[in-house]
């Protein structure tokens, strides 16, 4: 009985240790899940910050490209206006010089003016052609830069969406894992509690059995003691009459022996 009681007590200590260990494991799992969730949250925030900075960079690039293209167009317009004004001034000045020239050299002046006008017009046409080609080339480069910026923004947006989706999947996965572990720990804890309850019931039964057995043994011993006491009292009450009978028979035997001895003599 003492061995079973000791075993039950030791098993209760083991159950408490297991329950404490399960509680510690549950706390560690909760802390690990929280740290993992915080790490994923920091990764998402970093990705969002990088996305915002990159988007601002491409927006600034497109804005400056548009400004640069507008500036080129303005410079081209101003250059064309200046060339037109120069041509007009030159023609007016040449006309005035032609009118002021002598009639004798009128033909020479007209020819000279015509040659100068042709030369200037040709130079202006060449400059206009070069400016047009440069303008087209710069416009094409700006379009290429804008296309690259748009493509880069699309790719970056897709990357951010993928990161956010992965973050959501990792968060749900971490939550499911945490829930499963907590469920297993709770089930183990319930089993430990159930085992402890069974052992407590067993200990109560053993203690009750010990109490009943002790009471029964005490009753049997009391009955035996009572019976022995009665027998002893009976023996004590019978003992005087037995001694008197023994003495009487001893006297008779002694008388017989003495008579036999006297007869033999």
181, pLDDT greater than 70: no
pLDDT of residue 222: 65
User: Residue 155 half-sphere exposure, CB side, CA atoms within 13 Å?
Assistant: 8
Least confident segment among 28-42, 97-111, 144-158, 197-211:
197-211
Q: Taking the model in full, what pTM does it have?
A: 0.41
Segment 243-253 mean pLDDT: 54
43, pLDDT greater than 70: yes
Q: What is d(CA 262, CA 151) in angstroms, rounded to the nearest whole number?
A: 159
128 CB contacts (<8 Å, ≥6 apart)?
80, 83
Segment 118-136 mean pLDDT: 77
Question: Exposed (0-12), middle (13-18) or buried (19+): which is 45, by Cβ within 10 Å?
Answer: exposed
Q: What is d(CA 238, CA 235) in angstroms, rounded to the nearest whole number?
A: 5
Least confident segment among 35-39, 134-138, 157-161, 211-215:
211-215
Give pLDDT tens digits for 193-223: 666 676 666 667 666 766 765 666 566 656 6
Q: Which residue has the higher pLDDT, 203 or 255?
A: 203
Least confident segment among 54-63, 195-204, 244-253:
244-253
Indicate the domain borders of the chain.
Answer: 2-264
Would you identify the CATH topology of the domain 2-264? Helix Hairpins (1.10.287)
Give pLDDT tens digits for 165-174: 776 776 777 6
Q: What is d(CA 61, CA 149) in angstroms, rounded to the nearest whole number?
A: 8
Least confident segment among 38-47, 75-84, 96-105, 202-211:
202-211
């Amino acid at each position: 009985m003492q061995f079973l009681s000791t075993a039950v007590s030791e098993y209760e200590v083991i159950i408490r240790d297991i329950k404490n260990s399960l509680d510690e494991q549950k706390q560690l799992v909760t802390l690990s899940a929280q740290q993992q969730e915080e790490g994923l949250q920091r990764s998402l925030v970093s990705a969002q910050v990088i996305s915002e900075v990159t988007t601002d960079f491409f927006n600034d690039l497109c804005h400056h490209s548009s400004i640069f293209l507008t500036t080129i167009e303005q410079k081209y317009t101003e250059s064309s206006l200046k060339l037109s004004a120069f041509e007009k001034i030159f023609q007016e000045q040449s006309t005035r010089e032609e009118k002021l020239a002598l009639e004798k050299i009128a033909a020479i002046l007209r020819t000279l003016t015509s040659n100068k006008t042709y030369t200037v017009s040709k130079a202006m046409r060449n400059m206009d052609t070069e400016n047009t080609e440069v303008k087209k080339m710069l416009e094409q480069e700006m379009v290429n830069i804008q296309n690259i910026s748009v493509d880069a923004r699309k790719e970056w947006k897709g990357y951010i969406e993928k990161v956010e989706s992965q973050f959501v999947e990792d968060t749900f996965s971490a939550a499911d894992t945490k829930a499963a572990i907590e469920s297993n720990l709770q089930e183990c804890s319930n089993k430990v509690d159930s085992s402890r309850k069974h052992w407590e019931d067993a200990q109560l039964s053993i203690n009750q059995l010990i109490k009943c057995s002790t009471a029964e043994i005490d009753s049997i011993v009391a009955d035996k003691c009572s019976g022995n006491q009665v027998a002893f009292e009976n023996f004590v009450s019978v003992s005087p009459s037995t001694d008197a009978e023994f003495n009487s028979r001893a006297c008779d035997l002694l008388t017989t022996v003495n008579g036999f001895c006297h007869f033999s003599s």
